[in-house]
Amino acid sequence: MAEGDFQQLLDVMPKIAEAVRDLPDGLKQRAFEELISTFKGVPTPRTAPPEVLPVSQQPTENGRVAEAEKQPDVEPSATGGRSRRVKKATTPRKATTRKTWAPDRHIDFWPEGKQSFKDFVEAKRPATIDQKNLLAVFWLEHVAELPAVGVGQVLAAYKAVDWDEPGSPDVALRKTASSQHWIDTRKSTDIKTTPGGRNTVKGMPLPKGKK
């Protein structure tokens, strides 16, 4: 810098200091450097002061840029009012499928030398689904003498005498077990009659009004 330029700079510095005196501290230094650069004809690189930087870009105490504060997703209101929160897409629940049962088609419901299931039912005249479940399990267990009675075998008995099949035969059998205690369904592939169930069968047809 020439001696004349240096002298001019000394003369103008008090004026520059006076011009930036009332500015905020964060801007004062920046403005002072800008005016000095303008006087010398050398522009300074422009960077936004900390006060005008977004929060996400302001330096922290260790010099690193702070991460932007996470804000909930909002959608601007079309009427200029309050913005509403955007609901995030949720994973649809899987539809529960009802278990289906196939009737056992290998059972002979008219066994030779034994009472057929149809005759057995006509003699006992069941009036409720609990009584039907009881008779089906009893006949399969004690007349047909199957090694094991499952839901599929009971469903086959329903079909053999054209009874209306329950929508969920396994659930219907469990309800009979829990409400009447006539059958034991703890093992769905080996359903058995209980002593109380067998005594009920012996007393059927039950008097009217008794279930």
Return the number of other C-beta atoms located less than 10 Å from residue 18's C-beta.
Answer: 9
| Beta carbons within 8 Å of 119's beta carbon, 6+ residues apart | none
Tokens linked to 144: 């047909």
Which of the pair, 63 or 85, is modelled with greater confidence? Answer: 85
Interval 145-159 mean pLDDT:
96
Average pLDDT along the chain: 79
What's residue 34's pLDDT?
73
Distances (CA, A) of 82 to 72, 76, 77, 79: 14, 7, 6, 9
Tens digit of pLDDT for each residue in 92-124? 676 666 678 899 999 999 999 999 999 999 999
- For residue 10, the model assigns a pLDDT of 66
* Mean predicted confidence (pLDDT) in 14-36: 70
pLDDT at 154 over 80: yes
Res. 55 pLDDT band, cuts 50 70 90: low
Cβ-Cβ contacts under 8 Å for 44 (sequence gap 6 or more): 33, 34, 37
What local confidence, expressed as pLDDT, does residue 68 receive? 47
Q: Is the pLDDT of residue 27 over 60?
A: yes
**Rounded to the nearest 10 degrees, how much is the dihedral formed by the CA atoms of 16, 17, 18, 19?**
50
pLDDT digits (tens, 9 = 90+) for 122-148: 999 999 999 999 999 999 999 999 999
Q: Residue 59: phi, psi to the nearest 5?
A: -70, 145
Cα(2)–Cα(190) distance, rounded to whole angstroms? 110
Q: CA-CA distances (angstroms) from residue 150 to 133, 145, 147?
A: 12, 13, 10
What percent of the chain stands above pLDDT 90? 48
Bridge partners, 193 (sequence order): 183
CB 185 within 8 A of CB 174: yes
